[in-house]
């Protein structure tokens, strides 16, 4: 195997020395093998985490497993007469600090054991562009990603992000590559919910592992990309988009002046098929409304839901976006966790 070219940080070279240590007349000779080392700037699957230059040749198969914390599975391969590399077998989360026990002295006979080490820490910071690449490859974003490396690259590769839905003009300005933005957070929530993870919208280790696994196994999201736009210009209305095309338009009610609906773009974070809603009216009295159907919360206590009114199209609610039961029943299946809802003034 040819040596892998990768940016490495030298950790210094120890004195090259091989000493035969007698351990009894009938024992095989034992050698102390010293090693100089280089550590990769970034831990990436199928790339070296560590390169050792040994003071005497030793087969890669005799070396003990590299110890890291958190654990990153590796395997040793020979890349030269006295050079070996520990190659990562999986892509770790990019948000953790890794501690690598770098061998500096090995005790070798038929196999080798570590006699002394130095601990090196490497901080891999969150890379939003890499996260966006994986989510785009899995069809969770309103952007696509194309690269000469193919459609399912796990490592971060050069490529182009392209906005998929030109008709979603109110959503387009919220997308910004390389930043933590509402569109990216919502896509993470959608992925987390679809994969049984807490929908925090943050790339924690469990989410990163699931993202990498999904790309490796080509587990593309087959659901449409949905988006809800609410206009408070009378007659107030809601538009549901599926993959950038209008799927439904309906009259709705938003909040009265004393209890307005929050303006902005937010992801759906909580849903109920039916719920008893409780709260306080502007005059201080309490209300209890049982059996409210098809509820999707997107900001605090503001939710999309069904509610019976004599008419629709003007402010009547205490902040929620109300619609007829039948309309709410059509909208709700298309507003899973992470669906973005924009409320215009």
| pLDDT grade for 98, boundaries at 50, 70 and 90 | confident
Is residue 2 domain-resident?
no
Q: Do 66 and 137 reside in the same domain of the chain? A: no
191 shares its domain with 292: no
Residue 50, SS3 per DSSP: strand
Confidence of residue 206 (pLDDT cuts 50, 70, 90): confident
Rounded CA separation 104/142 (Å): 49
Out of 67, 91, 123, a domain closes at 123
- Report whether pLDDT(124) > 80: no
Q: What confidence tens digit (pLDDT) does each residue in 158-195 have?
A: 999 999 999 999 999 999 998 999 999 999 999 999 99
SS3 325: helix
Q: Name which of 175, 181, 199 is nearest 189 in CA terms.
A: 199
Q: Are residues 118 and 143 in the same domain?
A: no
Is the domain of 211 the same as that of 281? no
**Residues in CB range of 42: below 8 A, 6 or more apart:** 7, 124
Phi-psi region of 319 (alpha: psi -120 to 50; beta: other; left: phi over 0): left
Pair (119, 132) in one structural domain = no
144 lies in a domain? yes
Q: Please indicate, yes or no, whether residues 46 and 139 belong to a single structural domain of this protein.
A: no
Does the pLDDT value for residue 151 go beyond 50?
A: yes
Q: Does residue 83 surpass a pLDDT of 50?
A: yes
Report, in this order, helix, strand and coil percent for the chain, each rounded to 5: 15, 40, 45
Question: Same domain, yes or no, for 340 and 242?
Answer: yes
For residue 33, pLDDT beyond 50: yes
Percent of the chain at pLDDT > 70 equals 88
Task: State the pTM of this model.
Answer: 0.71
Report pLDDT for 155.
Answer: 83
Q: Is residue 133 part of a domain?
A: yes
| Percent of the chain whose predicted confidence (pLDDT) is above 90 | 72
- State how far the Cα of 58 lies from the Cα of 56, in Å rounded to an integer: 6
- pLDDT score, position 12: 34
Of the three residues 187, 216, 245, the one that is the final residue of a domain is: 216
| Residue 50 domain flag | yes
- Nearest to 156, CA basis, from 188, 184, 130: 130
Q: How confident is the model at residue 343 (pLDDT cuts 50, 70, 90)?
A: very high
Q: Is the pLDDT of residue 269 over 70?
A: yes
User: Can you tell me the mean pLDDT for 18-42?
Assistant: 65
240 and 318 inside one domain: yes
Q: Is 171 helix (H, G, I), strand (E, B) or coil?
A: coil
- 82 and 112 assigned to the same domain: yes
pLDDT score of 286 more than 90: yes
Residues for the chain: how many in total? 345
CATH code at position 338 = 2.40.440.10
User: What CATH number corresponds to the domain at position 16?
Assistant: 2.60.40
Residue 242 lies in a domain: yes
Domain boundary among 181, 216, 251: 216
CB 142 within 8 A of CB 170: no
What is the per-residue pLDDT for 340? Answer: 99
Per-residue pLDDT for 11 more than 80?
no
Give the per-residue pLDDT at 24.
40
Between 14 and 286, the more confident residue is 286
* One domain, residues 239 and 210: no
- 104 with 68, same domain: the answer is yes
Does the pLDDT at position 138 exceed 60?
yes
Question: Is the pLDDT reported for residue 297 higher than 80?
Answer: yes
**Is residue 3 in a domain?**
no
* Average confidence score pLDDT of the chain: 88
Is 334 part of any domain? yes
In terms of Cβ atoms closer than 10 Å to its own Cβ (0-12, 13-18, 19+), residue 139 is middle
* Confidence (pLDDT) at 7: 40
Q: pLDDT band for 94, please (50, 70, 90 cuts).
A: low
* Same domain assignment for residues 234 and 305: yes
Using the predicted structure, report yes or no on whether residue 239 has a pLDDT greater than 70. Answer: yes
Q: Which of 234, 31, 219, 41 is nearest to 121 (CA)?
A: 41
What is the extent of the structural domain holding 173? 128-216
Number of domains in the chain: 3
Q: Say if 1 falls within a structural domain.
A: no
Of 311 and 47, the one with more pLDDT: 311
């Amino acid at each position: 195997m040819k040596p892998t070219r990768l940016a490495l940080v030298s950790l210094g070279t120890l004195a090259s020395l091989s000493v035969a240590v007698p351990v009894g007349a009938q024992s095989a000779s034992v050698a102390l093998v010293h090693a100089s080392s280089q550590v990769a700037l970034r831990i990436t699957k199928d790339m070296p985490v560590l390169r050792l230059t040994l003071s005497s040749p030793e087969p890669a198969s005799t070396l003990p497993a590299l110890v890291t914390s958190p654990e990153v599975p590796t395997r040793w391969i020979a890349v030269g007469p006295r050079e070996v590399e520990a190659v990562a077998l999986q892509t770790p989360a990019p948000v953790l600090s890794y501690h690598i026990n770098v061998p500096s002295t090995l005790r070798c006979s038929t196999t080798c054991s570590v006699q002394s080490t130095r601990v090196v820490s490497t901080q891999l910071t969150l890379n939003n562009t890499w996260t966006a690449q994986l989510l785009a490859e899995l069809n969770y974003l309103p952007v696509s990603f194309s690269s000469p490396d193919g459609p399912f690259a796990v490592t971060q590769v050069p490529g182009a992000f392209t906005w998929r839905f030109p008709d979603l003009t109110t959503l387009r300005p919220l997308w910004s590559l390389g930043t933590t933005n509402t569109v990216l957070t919502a896509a993470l929530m959608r992925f987390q919910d679809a994969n049984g993870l807490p929908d925090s919208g943050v790339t924690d280790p469990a989410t990163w592992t699931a993202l990498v696994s999904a790309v490796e196994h080509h587990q593309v999201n087959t659901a449409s990309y949905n988006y809800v736009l609410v206009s408070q210009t009378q007659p107030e209305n809601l538009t549901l988009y599926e993959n950038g095309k209008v799927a439904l338009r309906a009259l709705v009610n938003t909040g009265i002046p004393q209890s307005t609906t929050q303006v902005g773009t937010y992801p759906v974070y909580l849903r109920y098929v039916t719920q008893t809603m409780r709260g306080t009216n502007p005059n201080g009295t309490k209300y209890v409304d049982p059996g409210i159907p098809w509820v999707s919360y997107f900001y605090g206590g503001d939710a999309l839901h069904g509610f019976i009114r004599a008419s629709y199209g003007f402010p009547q609610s205490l902040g929620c976006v109300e619609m007829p039961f039948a309309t709410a029943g059509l909208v709700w299946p298309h507003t899973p966790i992470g669906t973005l809802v924009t409320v215009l003034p």
